[in-house]
Amino acid sequence: MFNSSSKIIDGIQHSKNLLHRVKTLASVSEDFNKRKPCIAVILVGENSASEIYVKNKIKTANNIGIKSIKISYPSSVLENDLLSQIKKLNDQNEVDGILVQLPLPNHISEEKIVLSIDPSKDVDGFHPINFGNLFLGNYTMLPCTPLGCLHLLKKELGSLSGLNAVIVGRSNIVGKPMQSLLLKENCTTIITHSKTINLSEFTLKADILISAIGKPKFIKKNHIKPGSVVIDVGINRIKLDNKNKIVGDVDFEDVIEKVKSITPVPGGVGPMTIACLMYNTVKASYLRNNNKFKEVIFDE
């Protein structure tokens, strides 16, 4: 029987290792600043997936010595009220990070909300200033999911220099920032997307394949270069045999024999996103207080 376990990139274990380091950094920050690093999380409405994500973020923060403030609003909240709340948090010195859980109700402009967050507290890395800095190769606050993917890739492969990286999906949250990070690691990068013609022509060249397209089990073995490393960012909720299930963008069972290694869903990229959010919060607490910060997350 074929044993796939040695090929699985264990995101839960990698996130625990990273959180262990972040906990130490948080404790040093507390010694320096005489207070814990602090993240404020804003949740709007009753989206059950968002509620679970926020709960996990708060629980993880509290476990590793980061103070958290949760602010909940009904979906009817006015955009101006949200903007006033963010301004208040921007002005509070003891708040290091601000995260507004997305998506927001249709009557609120996500763009306006993200733009209102002080870039030095933008632990999501979504503010145009942080996004622009990333594209210029000046790292400030980096988006958590691409950062988590890069961390896993470096742990798996060491140097990424010269490798072909193909990204499926061109979102602002994953695809585009992922390409920037991989370019800086000296990968040759290609972004493909839902309108790409003959996708496998590109993916078959990928030493590293990252899928963030949001289509359940979309990537099959005919897309895979033998011996490649596959990072599955997809979190797709489907009904299978009358049960709710979460599956990735990659058909795990179909590709497993062909790949060198692969992240599972769940238990791959998801836990890394939260660990990187904690990392960004502690990083913000260092930088806002003019303490020197070493980017341990890029260690191989």
Active site residues: 57, 101, 124
Which C-beta is closer to ligand GUN: that of 123 or that of 247?
123
State the number of binding residues for ligand GUN (CB under 6 A).
8
147 binds ligand GUN (CB under 6 A): no
259-298 positions binding ligand GUN, by CB under 6 A: 273
40 binds ligand GUN (CB under 6 A): no
237 beta partners: 246
Which C-beta is closer to ligand GUN: that of 30 or that of 110?
110
Sign of CA dihedral 106, 135, 181, 273: negative
- Residue 125 CB, shortest distance to ligand GUN, in Å, is 9
Measured from each CB, the residue nearest to ligand GUN is 102
The tokens of 291 are what? 């303490």
99 binds ligand GUN (CB under 6 A): yes
- Residue 54 CB, shortest distance to ligand GUN, in Å, is 9
- Residue 264 CB, shortest distance to ligand GUN, in Å, is 19
124 binds ligand GUN (CB under 6 A): yes
The tokens of 29 are what? 């920050």
Q: Which amino acid is at 274?
A: I
Residue written as token pair 């939260």: 274
For 111, 115, 126, 165, 215, the CA distances from 123, given in Å and listed in that order, are 16, 13, 8, 26, 27
Phi and psi at 235, nearest 5°, equal -125, 95
**Binding residue for ligand GUN (CB under 6 A) from 26, 98, 100, 224?**
100
Residue written as token pair 């030095």: 120
Which C-beta is closer to ligand GUN: that of 99 or that of 108?
99
71 binds ligand GUN (CB under 6 A): no
- Residue 143 CB, shortest distance to ligand GUN, in Å, is 7
Q: What is the DSSP letter of 210?
A: E
217-236 positions binding ligand GUN, by CB under 6 A: none
* Cis peptide preceding 128, ω within 30 of 0: no
* Span near ligand GUN by CB under 6 A; candidates 80-88, 95-103, 188-196, 222-230: 95-103
The answer to whether 55 and 101 are in contact (CB under 8 A) is no
The answer to whether 286 and 31 are in contact (CB under 8 A) is no
- Residue 122 CB, shortest distance to ligand GUN, in Å, is 10
* Span near ligand GUN by CB under 6 A; candidates 24-32, 58-66, 98-106, 223-231: 98-106
Question: Of 6, 17, 64, which is closest to residue 272 (Cα–Cα)?
Answer: 17
- Residue 176 CB, shortest distance to ligand GUN, in Å, is 14
Q: Are strands 38-44 and 164-168 parallel, antiparallel or unpaired?
A: unpaired
Please provide the size of the chain in residues: 300
Site residues (vs ligand GUN, CB under 6 A) = 99-102, 124, 144-145, 273
